[in-house]
């Protein structure tokens, strides 16, 4: 069994599955009215006490749109009682000046506003609704309160040619960080496969990004991927194609271990996610799949769920020697087998292949 | 009948989350196995420190007293540190910490 921590380092907490928007890539397939009972303030208080006792460092509030909850100000008050660090992912639709003032009082380390385009037309083509002006207003309101603010962009075939214009736009707004999320084929994205940019466009983009970062150190730009391993194929293959693989450490801060023996997926090892109804999942990519629930915090102690659930045991027992398909034949021993959620949803098997990986699509042994 | 006020005590026993400092430069830490897990809030990064490195770091941050660290070094490494060499040993251990910690010390 892979060793796991006594408590997660980070817990992603979906406060609601409701959302006014219908983003085409949403991993949680959020939106509309769900037939679920959201965790109450007293449920959350009990949960937070347990997280603090266990030593969880960071809670990431997500959804759905977390700020849609009418009691969101009460949740902010509750969070002020705890030491752990908090971050928030939001569309910005309901981030009023008052809410921003409350956020500024708490232990928030980062608020990330989702921004998919440099124009209303592009942003709303991907996210739906009249959401662009509100996202921009939310960024301004956050910065006005001196809150550490990021924008989250999902890298997709609609906006891949506009990313640098988006970064130029938010630089003028004083945004501290840009997180570019590489898509994972789960949730609503499985109905919109045309959103995934192909290998060629992705590699060209990464080439430009490396160049851009060298010339523009602010804001900091992170390329985020779902497989939190020692080396990400999303970083490795573009650099390999550019003949710059020796600069992996310098550019992305990753070191190649030539004989990585373990699966690198951190789901159930150092992170987990909790749905709006209290179901606990190995990571946020499984959050729309009740079959992957490890238990519910309303009926079970979280510490027990973390330590004893059968679902988490499955993740902790993942082994490279049990992999199937191209992943089992891969010659790149530094890889921790990519994203297990991608593998699971593309093959139906947790030990399957992350077919999202360019090498797995056409392996040359 | 005399009303009885039942004080509900906050449930803080066995708490494994500790903080140093305040605001964006807070440091959170917890015990993890034999060592420590540390979170630098301003970097948004997690680190694992072995027991001795962790204790020396916490001593440097004025959280652990020197006697406690010396006792633990004695128990774990099997030798006694002379008071005159403690700071030198600590300096060497702190040098080995990730570079983000050094930024912390320079402030």
Q: What is the mean pLDDT of residues A102-131?
A: 94
- State the pairing for strand pair A58-62/B18-20: unpaired
pLDDT, block means (10 residues), chain B with 107 residues: 41 78 92 96 94 96 93 86 88 94 80
Which residue in A53, A58, A110 is closest to B15 by CB distance? A53
Task: Locate the DSSP E strands across B1-107.
Answer: 18-20, 27-32, 35-40, 45-49
Residues B8/B14/B20/B24 CA torsion (nearest 10 deg): -70
Residues of B with CB below 8 A from A5's CB?
32, 37
What is the CA B53 to chain-centroid distance, rounded?
9
CA–CA separation, A58 vs A42, rounded Å?
A: 20
N-term to C-term CA, chain B: 61
Distance from CA of B36 to the nearest CA of A (A): 11
Distance from CA of A57 to the nearest CA of B (A): 7
Bond prior to A219 in cis (omega within 30° of 0)? yes
Residue whose C-alpha is closest to residue B35's, from A321, A65, A112, A3: A3
Residue A354 · residue A360 · CB < 8 Å? yes
Residue whose C-alpha is closest to residue A343's, from A320, A365, A310: A320
CA–CA separation, A8 vs A281, rounded Å?
A: 12
Structure tokens at A24: 């085409």
Q: If contacts are CB pairs under 8 Å, which of residues 16-45 in chain B contact chain A? A: 16-19, 24, 26, 28, 30-33, 37, 39, 41-42, 44
Kindly report, residue by residue over A316-353, the tens digit of the pLDDT. 999 999 999 999 999 888 899 999 999 999 999 999 99
A1-15, A239-253, A279-293: range with lowest mean pLDDT = A239-253
Highest mean pLDDT among A128-142, A222-236, A349-363: A128-142
Q: What is the mean pLDDT of residues A162-167?
A: 97
The pLDDT value recorded for residue B2 is 40
CA–CA separation, B23 vs B2, rounded Å?
A: 45
Chain A within 8 Å of B61 (Cβ-Cβ)? no
Q: What is the mean pLDDT of residues A41-63?
A: 97
The pLDDT value recorded for residue B106 is 72
Confidence band, pLDDT 50/70/90 cuts, at residue A279: very high
Residue A326 · residue A363 · CB < 8 Å? yes
Residues of A with CB below 8 A from B24's CB?
109, 148
Q: What is the mean pLDDT of residues A13-33?
A: 82
* Residue contact B17–A56, C-beta within 8 A: yes
Q: If contacts are CB pairs under 8 Å, which of residues 57-96 in chain A contact chain B? A: 57-58, 83-85
Answer whether residue A298 shows pLDDT above 60: yes
Confidence band, pLDDT 50/70/90 cuts, at residue A364: low
ipTM entry: 0.90
A81-95, A105-119, A246-260, A329-343: range with lowest mean pLDDT = A246-260
Kindly report, residue by residue over A225-255, the tens digit of the pLDDT. 887 777 888 999 999 988 989 888 888 888 8
Suggest the residue from A109, A147, A255 to mutate for an interface test with chain B (most B CBs closer than 10 A): A109
In order, the DSSP letters of A8-67 are: -SEEEEE--S--S---TT-TT---S--S-PPPPHHHHHHHHHHHHHHT--EEEEESS-GG
Confidence band, pLDDT 50/70/90 cuts, at residue A122: very high
Distance from CA of A44 to the nearest CA of B (A): 14
CA distances for A48 relative to A28, A85, A293, B60, angstroms: 22, 12, 19, 30
The pLDDT value recorded for residue A320 is 93
């Amino acid at each position: 069994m892979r060793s796991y921590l006594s408590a997660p380092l980070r817990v992603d907490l979906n406060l609601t599955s409701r959302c006014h928007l219908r983003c085409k890539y949403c991993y949680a397939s959020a939106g509309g009215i769900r037939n679920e009972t959201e965790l109450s303030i007293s449920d959350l208080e009990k949960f937070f006490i347990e997280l603090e006792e266990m030593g969880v460092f960071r809670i990431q509030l997500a959804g759905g749109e977390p700020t849609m909850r009418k009691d969101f100000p009460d949740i902010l008050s509750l969070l002020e009682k705890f030491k752990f660090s908090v971050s928030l992912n939001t569309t910005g639709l309901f981030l009023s000046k008052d809410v921003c003032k409350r956020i500024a009082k708490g232990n928030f380390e980062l608020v990330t506003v989702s921004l998919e385009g440099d124009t209303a037309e592009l942003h709303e083509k991907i996210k739906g609704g009249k959401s662009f002006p509100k996202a921009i207003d939310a960024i301004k309101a956050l910065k006005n309160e001196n809150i550490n603010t990021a924008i989250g962009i999902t890298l997709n075939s609609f906006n891949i040619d506009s990313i640098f214009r988006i970064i130029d736009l938010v630089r003028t707004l004083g945004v501290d960080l840009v997180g570019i999320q590489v898509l994972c084929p789960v949730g609503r994205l499985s109905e919109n496969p045309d959103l995934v940019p192909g290998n060629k466009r992705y590699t060209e983009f990464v080439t430009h990004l490396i160049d851009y970062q060298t010339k523009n150190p602010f804001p900091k730009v992170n390329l985020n991927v779902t497989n939190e391993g020692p080396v990400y194929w999303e970083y490795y293959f573009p650099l390999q194609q550019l003949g710059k693989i020796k600069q992996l450490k310098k550019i992305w801060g990753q070191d190649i271990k030539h004989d990585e023996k373990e699966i690198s997926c951190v789901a159930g090892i150092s992170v987990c996610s909790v749905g709006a109804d209290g179901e606990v999942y190995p990571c946020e990519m499984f959050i729309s799949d009740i079959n992957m629930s490890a238990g519910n915090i309303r009926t079970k102690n979280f510490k027990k769920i973390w330590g004893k659930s059968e679902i988490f045991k499955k993740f902790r027992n993942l082994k490279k020697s049990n992999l199937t398909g191209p992943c089992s034949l891969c010659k790149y021993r530094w890889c921790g087998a990519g994203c297990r959620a991608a593998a699971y949803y593309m093959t139906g098997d947790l030990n399957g292949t992350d077919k999202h990986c360019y090498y797995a699509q056409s392996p040359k042994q | 009948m005399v009303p009885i006020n039942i004080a509900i005590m906050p449930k803080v026993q066995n708490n494994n989350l500790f903080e140093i400092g305040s605001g964006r430069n807070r440091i959170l830490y917890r015990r993890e196995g034999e060592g420590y897990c540390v979170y630098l809030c301003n970097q948004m990064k997690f680190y694992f420190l072995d027991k001795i490195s962790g204790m020396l770091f916490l001593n440097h941050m004025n959280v652990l007293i020197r006697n406690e660290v010396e006792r633990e070094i004695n128990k774990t490494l099997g030798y006694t540190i002379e008071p005159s060499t403690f700071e030198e040993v600590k300096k060497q251990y702190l040098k080995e910490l990730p570079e983000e910690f050094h930024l912390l010390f320079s402030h």
